[in-house]
Amino acid sequence: MKILATVLTCAIVSAIGAIGFICSRLYDVSALQPDNALVAWAVHTTSNRSISGRLGAITAPPGLEQPLAVQSGGHIFIRECAVCHGGPGLNATDIARGLNPSPPDLFFATRKPEAAENFRFIKYAVKMTAMPGFRPTQTEEQIWALRPSSAKRRA
């Protein structure tokens, strides 16, 4: 009984503390302020684990290397993605430079997401970043075609 009362008291005190912090105006939401190490770790770990835990059922369809698919991906990339992600020979735009987290350069980044992960990022977006989700506006074929290699051949 004593343990239950202690746990309950701790939970209530933590909840009051959390609500107090939320209402306190202490946290600066400006995107130009870098996140402190703890917030950055919490957000990135949550995001990475969320995405990697949802890749199971996604498999790439055949034919992605067909010229029409490559061309379609390149067109969409230039129109919808390059403003943030840039591309070979393109300078970073003012929009890209003002974002936090920064949009990675999908062509030269050392980390290369697997095809399924790439697909998931593009289809479903990432909360609390500027990365938009394209499920409402692009077909699955168009999303699969959106790989950096497609745009590279067009650029």
Binding residues for ligand HEC, rule: CB under 6 A, are 47, 76-77, 80-81, 83-85, 99, 101, 103-104, 106, 109, 111, 113, 118, 121-122, 126, 129-132, 134, 146
The alpha carbon of residue 30 and the mean position of all alpha carbons in its chain are separated, in whole angstroms, by 18
Supply the minimum distance, in Å, between the C-beta of residue 88 and ligand HEC: 15
Pick the closer one to ligand HEC by CB: 2 or 118.
Answer: 118
Supply the minimum distance, in Å, between the C-beta of residue 104 and ligand HEC: 5
Torsions phi, psi of 37, nearest 5? -60, -40
- Sign of the Cα torsion 57, 109, 147, 67 reads negative
Count how many residues are written for the chain.
155
Q: Which amino acid is at 12?
A: I
Supply the minimum distance, in Å, between the C-beta of residue 37 and ligand HEC: 16
C-alpha dihedral, 90 to 91 to 95 to 99, nearest 10°: 100
Supply the minimum distance, in Å, between the C-beta of residue 124 and ligand HEC: 11
Pick the closer one to ligand HEC by CB: 14 or 149.
Answer: 149
